[in-house]
Amino acid sequence: MILDVITSSNLKPKHGYFCRAGGRSKGIYAELNAGLGSNDDPANVRHNRSLVAEHLGIKLEALRGVHQIHSPNVHIATVDTIGERPKADALVTNQAGLALTVLTADCAPILFADEIAGVIGAAHAGWKGALGGIMQSTISGMVRLGSVRENITAVIGPCISQANYEVGPEFLKRFTKEDKDYSRFFIKRLGDRYLFDLPGFCLQQLHSADISRANWVGHCTYADENRFYSYRRTTHRKEPDYGRMVSAIML
């Protein structure tokens, strides 16, 4: 089965931002729903995840993930932690054969690699995690494993773009309370509405953490229904649930 996978030439380790084509889920979950927390048929989710593992050349058990909670928590994945899904929003490792994965449907999946040190990371960055320091925590976790900040590359995968991320004034206040300069990531709309630039904010956070090699792949999850799941699109349509895309990186 042919999967739709986005890769970045800036990341040397095997990786992929897996889109929604190629799985066997149906209806609102069609097709490659990898969301363990969705209400999709668990057999379909497992099958879809096995397709991802096969594409990466590993067993299903080597797909390592976390129970995502929009936090700054980072999990260090090792061969001894197989089966564990701690509450966290990022994983790091220096061990080969493990695919670090995060699930998204508008939030930003960010893959990290220090090719010299042989250390990788994967982070789930929604607005709350991005503001709360998930990227900085991921980088710190990589440094604990021997990475050097100047050698880390970070690539932001498909996520919701500013053109489709409308928010209210209370959202803006959360950011400007942390730093007044964060107002530059908001565009004023009619009334009290604003448009928030999630990938732009993530890039700023990465650059502020001394990650000079950072970029966004440029795909908006909300705008392209054929390729991506979107929590916000589902909410606007009042659908009962939504699929999740998986992004993965491995040594």
Total domains present in the chain? 1
In a domain, 108, yes or no: yes
Helical segments of 98-168, H only: 127-132, 134-144
pTM across the whole model: 0.97
In a domain, 74, yes or no: yes
In a domain, 200, yes or no: no
pLDDT tens track for 161-197: 999 999 999 999 999 999 999 999 999 999 999 999 9
In a domain, 77, yes or no: yes
Residue 1 pLDDT > 80: no
Residue 83 pLDDT > 90: no
Which CATH number is 33's domain given? 3.60.140.10
81: containing domain: 5-158+217-250
Average pLDDT of the segment spanning 2-31: 97
pLDDT tens track for 217-246: 999 999 999 999 999 999 999 999 999 999
Structure-token match 């493990």, residue found: 98
CA proximity to 206, closest of 218, 197, 214:
214
Task: For residues 39 and 74, give the distance between their C-alpha atoms in angstroms, rounded to a whole number.
Answer: 26
- Quickly state the pLDDT bin for 143 (edges 50, 70, 90): very high
